[in-house]
Structure 1
């Protein structure tokens, strides 16, 4: 059974068959014989990502290598097959029909994002302009809605997993589906990046499992939006012991309470949107598509920059985002300023429950992410 014939079926039904199909056809490859390695794009505990040129096709690709010592074949096949299944969406990273193994690694090829990832362009303590934020986050919202409509939950929404093709975010794509799971399934262990982790997961015991829900992504999406517009995290961890989270919690619980200082830059419309995304009770969080209405409203109280030919109205941000056809499945690729301060976060906030260095002069982390997938 071919990959294309499986695409018409539901995700829960096809993933196991896709994995079996890939396992049968996956070959051992000597990388230097088939690819010209240009440079390393990123590395972490998982392995590395290299920018390469396919010697036969002459196409630039990003090869992701997952170390066999730390990655089970089943996990590799799951990430690869989910990525391929989703890559028909223009707002999700494109995939090539290439998966192989070497002596030390499992590897697959995906589209190369020439401008890196979103983390690289968010100015610490400043954030992106409202217009750029809207243009970027709208595409991320469409990608997540596409994901959720196929009953899948990403579980690791953060700037490092949003790849960009230009610094103005005219074209961005969601990536890295290593933690993606089918909604309603049970996971034994909480993982992910701490500031983006929903409160119900922060409170989950290491010894108890939890059900994977869309609300996990919705919460992380809300935190991501705050980070993009401020250059800071809203809190270090969504627990009562965190002062900034506790202030937010009291504000949400008692509607007449004062708006916490780091949220006062936002308009009433934006605050309402955040309340829907960051509802403390997961069952009350909105669907991603429910926030699209807010793109026609102002989000910041003061204008960050005068209108330009590129940014005439709020409506332009999303009305002019056009889908792009990327025939990757067949292997044919297409080649400000704010004065308010926000919480100062410790280096432990950044990535995947692991310590990374932090720039001592900023509140937002300026460090090499644990995993950069490009």
Structure 2
């Protein structure tokens, strides 16, 4: 009957659409097209990068300062440009363990992701040497976040006798972690004013609250982040904010937008001091 056929038609079409989406692994056609376009763009970048590789020995162009890290497939060195003296991180992948295509893939993915402010910037310089492939990034001098397990690095000031240990230490660790995620580096090496100028600058700024005392590493953070970090990183454990205080700052910008002026005058008011 005509009425019956018209009811069944849409059901069959819907079932067909569901079947097609399952065949795409749950992706929509738009998502699939976007993925294909990104893959083609990456292939084009890899082709261009292969044509513009600098063929030279690394030590001809850069002077090694010290190792920053090493793994199964390569190592990262802190180097300086021999002519300009610019500090850089150089990731070096030995040819016996890395194909040209594998190197180009990692290099170009790094270039693409490095435009994000929270990811280490990769520079468009790929180097092919006799025994290795290399590329350059901005240096991250304190290593990765696994360094948190090291007891001395960024450890909090000693706790007074009788103060519960766990909450104050957790708050400090969270503050350091948030700072690292927002900036890409640690706020200081050790919380001793006489031994670490970055920590001394922080204490001066926290005491005065004046814009001119704002330490350079804190530039770019928004007032909400300042207030959160001031509380979590308070040198006095009994005044340190609880870990749960982070909830009060969720949904607010933690970094200044590009071109936005620094707002540092209201930090103490934000922190409730």
TM-score, length-normalised on structure 1?
0.37
TM-score, length-normalised on structure 2?
0.49
Q: Which has the higher contact order (CA 8 A, sep 6+)?
A: 1
Structure (1 or 2) with the larger CA radius of gyration:
2
Q: Considering fraction of residues, name the structure with more helix.
A: 2
